Amino acid sequence: MAFFSPRLGIDLGTTNVLVFVPGKGVVINEPSVVAVSTENNKIVAIGAEAKKMVGRTPDSIIAYRPMKDGVIADYRVTEAMLRYFMRRALGPFNIWKPTVLVSVPAGVTSTEKRAVIEAAVKAGAKDAFVVKEPILAAIGAGIPIHEPSGRMVADIGGGTIDVAVISLGGIVASTSVKVAGNALDRAIIDYAKKQYNLSIGDKTAEEVKITIGSAVPVGEELIMPVKGRDLVTGLPRTVEFKTNEVVQAMSRELRDMMNAVRRVLAETPPELASDIIDNGIILTGGSSELRNMPELIFRRTGVSGKLADSAYFCVARGTGVALKHLDTYKKSIISKS
């Protein structure tokens, strides 16, 4: 029976959930948002459907993220979300329980790990394993992690930045800081409020970051009209944002991220540090695609930053590779605890 057990890799992120099916690739890429009715506590919508409701719901429905900073904040809702995505990934005619491999942040505690495993098993998995995100990101970026050479990965997602030095298939030094894409969005919201008395939503802030944002000031600025509500008159208003303003708005959060990278570099043994200077720091995760992120890494650390191919999908791809060679990886990196 074990032979028939389908396999699923789940990149369980604060902002998005990606499900990888070996042989098919990423079959689900949806926001990790759930809409719940306050009247009867029933789940109304999950994923893309629920994301559309954020900031637009009546009082009787709350749309929120059950994952906070890469770990489970709401157990019941996370389990329902996992069950929904697993069923969709396997299709309506599947009768076998899947073997599931889930990503967790580098700084996760054993209790948080157990919560993820339990949620996956209750959601219908036969077996569940967890692997730390930087390892999966490195595998997905095509880094040969089993070699005796130091490789550094900075995986920047929505909730956390996970930085790790990997050698011989294990993590030598790592840190996980709860400052990433979502914190950048919040910084833009605060800036609009302070600078322009303009109230904007999360979705608008994210659009500003992606459309004109940058990690370092630029010579030729991009301009974007931003619509919001005037906090003084209460009426709709449009303000033009420029790239360097956005850089300034996000500067503190970007500094916190770079400090995380520098901290891990400081903890790295000298032999591995020299490998990292040769190989550069590999950037993965959706937020690493912010304009000029590799340049910021170089300016703050003196080590070149390299954006991985399809950085957003690295962790999901990594789960696929780990599932393919489950027996090999089980020994070295997967913990059931």
Q: Which phi-psi region, left, alpha or beta, contains residue 55 (left: φ > 0; alpha: ψ -120 to 50)?
A: left
Of the options 3.90.640.10, 3.40.50.970, 3.30.590.10, 3.30.1330.10, the CATH number for the domain spanning 181-251 = 3.90.640.10
**How far apart are the C-alpha atoms of 31 and 28, rounded to whole Å?**
10
Residues 6+ apart with CB under 8 A from 224: 207, 208, 211, 212, 240, 241
pLDDT surpasses 90 at 2: no
Please state the three-class secondary structure of the chain as a single string: CHHHCCEEEEEECCCEEEEEECCCEEEEEEECCEEEECCCCCEEEECHHHHHHCCCCCCCEEEECCEECCEECCHHHHHHHHHHHHHHHHCCCCCCCCEEEEEECCCCCHHHHHHHHHHHHHCCCCEEEEEEHHHHHHHHCCCCCCCCCCEEEEEECCCCEEEEEEECCEEEEEEEECCCHHHHHHHHHHHHHHHHCEECCHHHHHHHHHHHCCCCCCCCCCEEEEEEEECCCCCEEEEEEEHHHHHHHCHHHHHHHHHHHHHHHHHCCHHHHHHHHHHCEEEECHHHHCCCHHHHHHHHHCCCEEECCCHHHHHHHHHHHHHHCHHHHHHHCCECC
Cα separation, 43 vs 131, in Å, equals 29
C-alpha to C-alpha distances, 108 to 12, 67, 160, 203, 254, nearest whole angstrom: 13, 13, 11, 28, 22
Give CA–CA dist 113/334, Å, rounded: 11
Which residues on adjacent β-strands are paired with residue 156? Answer: 161
pTM for the full predicted model: 0.88
Reply yes or no on whether the pLDDT at 1 is more than 60.
Answer: no
List the chain domain ranges.
2-31+72-135+314-332, 143-179+258-311, 181-251
Query: Taking 70 as the threshold, does the pLDDT of residue 148 lie above it?
Result: yes
For tokens 């699923």, name the residue: 8
pLDDT number for residue 74: 84
What does DSSP say about strands 34-37 and 161-167: parallel, antiparallel, or unpaired?
unpaired
Q: What is the pLDDT of residues 207-249, one digit of tens each?
A: 999 999 999 999 999 999 999 999 999 999 999 999 999 999 9
- How sure is the predictor about 102, in pLDDT bands with cuts at 50, 70 and 90? very high
Query: How does residue 258 score in pLDDT terms, banded at 50, 70 and 90?
Result: very high
Domains 2-31+72-135+314-332 and 143-179+258-311 alike in fold: yes
Distance CA 49, CA 30 (A): 9
CATH superfamily, region 2-31+72-135+314-332: ATPase, nucleotide binding domain (3.30.420.40)
**pLDDT tens for each residue of 12-53:** 888 899 999 988 899 999 999 898 888 888 888 999 888 888
Which homologous superfamily is 143-179+258-311 in? ATPase, nucleotide binding domain (3.30.420.40)
The answer to whether the beta carbons of residues 189 and 169 sit under 8 Å apart is no
Q: What is the mean pLDDT of residues 254-276?
A: 95
Nearest to 21 by CA among 67, 86, 92: 86
Give the tens place of pLDDT for each residue, 122-143.
Answer: 999 998 989 889 999 999 999 9
